[in-house]
Amino acid sequence: MRRARTREGDNLIAAIIDTGVNVDSGRVEVVMAAIVEPDVATYQQYIDGEWAGAEDGRTYPVINPSTEEVMAVAPASTRADARRAVAAARRSFDAGEWRLKSQLQRTQIMFQIAEHLQEVSEDWGLLESQNAGAALRKTSVVDVPLAIEWFRSMAEQALGVPWYEPLPWIDSPYVSWNFVQREPVGVCAGIIPWNYPLIFAMWKIAPALAMGNSIVLKPAPQTPLSALAIARAIDETGLLPRGVLNVVTGDGVEAGIELVENPDVDKVAFTGSTATGRKILAAAASTIKKVTLELGGKSANIVCPDADLDIAVDGALFGTFFHQGQMCESGTRLFVHDDIYDTFVDRLVDGAASLRVGDAADFDTQVGPVISRAQYDMILSAIDRAKQEGATVACGGGRAPNVGDRGFFIQPTVLTGVSPDSHAGTEEIFGPVLAVQRWSDLGEVIQRANRTIYGLAGGVWSRDTRGAIEIAKQLRTGTVWINDWHLLNPLAPFGGYKQSGIGREHGREGLLAYTEVKHIHVDQGVPRSERYFWDVLLG
Ligand code: NAD
């Protein structure tokens, strides 16, 4: 792979057919294809209330995965850029212009900002669709409204956070007044992946701001545009003090690693792969940062023999093929009971084969492209490997037909006869690939469902709600849906057991993760001679 260069002086930009982060180096890598028209937008990063290019002027092309065309150019932020952003966040935090506002003031300001976001977000659905390959009907019905709702909800929920909590009366060795004081954690670094760039940007920005912190956000290099659109909109309001929100657009090994290692960052909130999560945890160790990790998954979806088949088949399709399966909590391991297996799989295959694959910006598209050439190749090779390991391709299995030869389109794929310990049975493929297994014994299938390094989500389909809840309790995952999938809520904690993560986002747990906890002990005027220090040291 060659690195992309821009010749902006000549007004020419080298087009690329892919960007991707090299798994080993973490760097943005690109393949050049052609020289294209220069009329693409050039974006800038947002540091300390200013818009600027990278310190060394480097840029990289941002690709539309439906067309493989360059849709924008973004700064390849360096470590120095990230350091500058951290310094701005540190200065703003220490100055206290945001941190020291009352919770009510912060919430009111965030509500005002949300009004503006609402007004200017008309084009965000299309932008997200073109940059992330997310179907327009998803981005306009789900991503944009939810992102703004999340912003409001975090601001509102912050009003209920117990900043001050009295402790029970303490009278040993004598009476004192004790309470817990919560405080903003400080400078936060939000590092996010490419699959939900708009929503994840909000999932980092909103709780950090609601709890009085300053933040530097780094979107994935493939998908920087919606995070920059949010920063632009917030900047337009003039309501947030300078340096409280910063966005850098580089890759993992430059900007990303700087955010994790910089001693002025107090907390890292990371969403991404388990492999990168491990690196981040290790890198954050040198400065003992607070770290929350939202990582990968391989969620088990258990269909019981008494399930409503119509809804369960739809739910299994939705649970896997929504956003091309590029969702961390997708139900990609489907366990279907023997009694209904044949009927269920027939209907599943019909449903998967009838999904309309195409350009994400077309409102009729149900399944768009995967994000990049690297992901496309990785998914197709995972399907090949599944076949070699004994699975049968019941439908799909290759490039989608009727979509031309541009764009990273893969057919919704159903694999049957997947061995539980095979690659397709254990590894996150992060594409439109569903691995189906049979079951007949409930205890055994629960064990099989839990036999994974991941623990993000799970699902149960049954008409017996009580029985389903009992199964849900035995699944070692942070979320379980009963007769549903993908429904997350700003009030409900979200996160993973095992190697799917550390900590929770959203709701009370999510907000508290953006605070430090302080115990304050207040003496109640005990005479000198009765003091503890007199008994144990000075007397
Ligand atoms: P990734 O881990 O490759 O990258 C995520 C982010 O980390 C990017 O911004 C990247 O630039 C940055 N990064 C990479 N190396 C870094 C380093 N050494 N130091 C600091 N930052 C670094 O993930 P991806 O491929 O962009 O996204 C797909 C993955 O994200 C999947 O595994 C998916 O399951 C996971 N994911 C998890 C959740 C969740 O909430 N649990 C949600 C969505 C996606």
Domains of the chain by residue range: 7-294+509-516, 300-482
Mutation to probe ligand 1, out of 271, 488, 494, 500 (largest number of atoms < 8 A from CB): 271
Nearest CA, atom 20, ligand 1:
256
Q: Environment class of residue 164 by beta-carbon count within 10 Å: exposed (0-12), middle (13-18) or buried (19+)?
A: exposed
Contacts of 432 (CB under 8 A, 6+ apart): 320, 321, 324, 325, 367, 370, 379, 396, 410, 411, 412, 413
Query: Is the C-beta atom of 276 inside 6 A of ligand 1?
Result: yes
Contacts of 418 (CB under 8 A, 6+ apart): 333, 386, 391, 424, 425, 435, 436, 437
End-to-end alpha carbon distance in the chain: 75
**Cα 344 to Cα 168: distance, rounded to the nearest angstrom:** 56
Element at 314 (helix H, strand E) = helix 309-321
Per-residue model confidence (pLDDT) at position 12: 34
DSSP string covering 429-495, please? --SSEEEEEEE--HHHHHHHHH-SS--SEEEEE-S-HHHHHHHHHHS-SSEEEES--S---TTS-B-
Report field, pTM of the whole predicted structure over 0.85: yes
| From 294, 427, 428, 505, active-site residue | 294
- Distances in Å between the Cα of 532 and the Cα atoms of 159, 190, 338, 537 are 39, 45, 70, 8
Per-residue model confidence (pLDDT) at position 29: 54
Closest Cα partner for 249 from 58, 16, 90? 58
Residue 506, sorted as left (phi over 0), alpha (psi -120 to 50) or beta, turns out to be left
Instruction: Please state, for a pLDDT cut of 90, what percent of the chain lies above it.
Output: 90
Residue range 7-294+509-516, CATH number = 3.40.605.10
**Sign of the four-CA dihedral 63, 68, 71, 73:** positive
| From 328, 395, 428, 505, active-site residue | 328
29 is annotated as an active-site residue? no
Strand partners, 300: 333, 458
| Amino acid present at 181 | Q
Closest Cα partner for 341 from 457, 421, 433, 445? 445
Place of tokens 């004994």: 390
Taking the centre of ligand 1 as the mean of its atom positions, its distance from the CA of residue 269, in whole angstroms, is 11
Taking the centre of ligand 1 as the mean of its atom positions, its distance from the CA of residue 271, in whole angstroms, is 5
User: Which homologous superfamily is 300-482 in?
Assistant: Aldehyde Dehydrogenase; Chain A, domain 2 (3.40.309.10)
188 is annotated as an active-site residue? no
Which is it for strands 433-439 and 290-294: parallel, antiparallel or unpaired? unpaired
Per-residue model confidence (pLDDT) at position 28: 56
Query: Is the C-beta atom of 28 inside 6 A of ligand 1?
Result: no
Please identify every stretch of the chain with a pLDDT value under 70, giving residue numbers as ranges: 1-38
Place of tokens 């220090």: 533
Per-residue model confidence (pLDDT) at position 535: 84
Per-residue model confidence (pLDDT) at position 40: 87
For the stretch 121-138, pLDDT in tens is: 999 999 999 999 999 999
Query: Is the C-beta atom of 249 inside 6 A of ligand 1?
Result: no
Contact 256, 26 (CB under 8 A): yes
Per-residue model confidence (pLDDT) at position 539: 84
Read off the DSSP letter of residue 526.
Answer: -
Query: Is the C-beta atom of 269 inside 6 A of ligand 1?
Result: no
- Which atom of ligand 1 is nearest to 296's Cα? 34
Query: Is the C-beta atom of 510 inside 6 A of ligand 1?
Result: no
Element at 310 (helix H, strand E) = helix 309-321
Query: Is the C-beta atom of 429 inside 6 A of ligand 1?
Result: no
Per-residue model confidence (pLDDT) at position 25: 52
Per-residue model confidence (pLDDT) at position 22: 52
Per-residue model confidence (pLDDT) at position 9: 35
Q: Which two tokens stand for residue 461?
A: 């389909």
